[in-house]
């Protein structure tokens, strides 16, 4: 698979994660106003509400879903640029974004599994997708570095 195809996959996954981050953002607003959210209606449990309204649902006073919206939007833009132009700096920023997304997903999965002991289905979709981004980023990094070492 060529790099352009890999960046296209990163773009698609970033857009999916962006959409789920927006859904979670609106879910949290529903919970704050005392209404049930879509997630709880789908799963039939309040796992989503527990996860999203826990103290782990914010970092530095900002909702994790807002970080997701901004982060996945930036990653999508970087991957789109990587598809259109082969810019080395943007390519590495895209890879870094995938690694960061995957690292954060590991932390949030740990919190859901071992601290909160409950899961949010939308959060899981984002976290699993972010782990795929991590795998793609590592693969791209190895591929790019092995190509550079062959040319030396």
- Segments making up each domain of the chain, as ranges: 3-150
Write the pLDDT tens digit of every residue in 91-104. Answer: 999 999 999 999 99
| pLDDT at 14 exceeding the cut of 90 | yes
- pLDDT at position 43, please? 57
- pLDDT at position 105, please? 98
User: What percent of the chain has pLDDT above 90?
Assistant: 71
- pLDDT at position 42, please? 63
- pLDDT at position 77, please? 98
48 to 73, 97, 103, 143, 144: CA distances (angstroms): 23, 26, 21, 38, 39
Nearest residue to 27 (alpha-carbon basis) of 19, 148, 7: 19
Q: What is the Cα–Cα distance from 129 to 133, expressed in whole angstroms?
A: 6
| pLDDT at 89 exceeding the cut of 90 | yes
Provide mean pLDDT across the span 118-134.
95
Domain 3-150, architecture per CATH: Up-down Bundle (1.20)
| Token couple for 63 | 């909702």
**For the chain, how many residues are written?**
152
Lowest mean pLDDT among 41-50, 70-79, 89-98, 119-128: 41-50
Confidence of residue 61 (pLDDT cuts 50, 70, 90): very high
Confidence of residue 145 (pLDDT cuts 50, 70, 90): confident
| pLDDT at 37 exceeding the cut of 70 | no
| Token couple for 50 | 């527990």
| pLDDT at 73 exceeding the cut of 90 | yes
**What is the per-residue burial (b if ≥16 Cβ within 10 Å, else e) of 88-114?**
eebbbbbbebbbbbbebbeebbebbee
């Amino acid at each position: 698979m060529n790099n352009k195809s890999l960046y296209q996959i990163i773009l698609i996954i970033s857009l999916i994660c962006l959409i789920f981050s927006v859904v979670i953002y609106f879910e949290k607003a529903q919970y704050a106003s005392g209404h049930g959210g879509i997630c709880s209606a789908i799963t039939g449990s309040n796992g989503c509400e527990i996860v999203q309204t826990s103290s782990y649902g914010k970092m530095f006073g900002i909702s994790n879903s807002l970080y997701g919206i901004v982060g996945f939007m930036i990653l999508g833009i970087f991957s789109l640029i990587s598809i259109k132009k082969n810019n080395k700096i943007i390519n590495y920023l895209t890879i870094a974004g995938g690694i960061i997304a995957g690292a954060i997903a590991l932390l949030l999965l740990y919190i859901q599994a071992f601290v909160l002991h409950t899961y949010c289905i939308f959060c899981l979709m984002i976290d699993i997708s972010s782990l795929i981004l991590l795998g793609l980023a590592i693969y791209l990094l190895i591929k790019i570095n092995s190509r550079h070492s062959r040319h030396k």
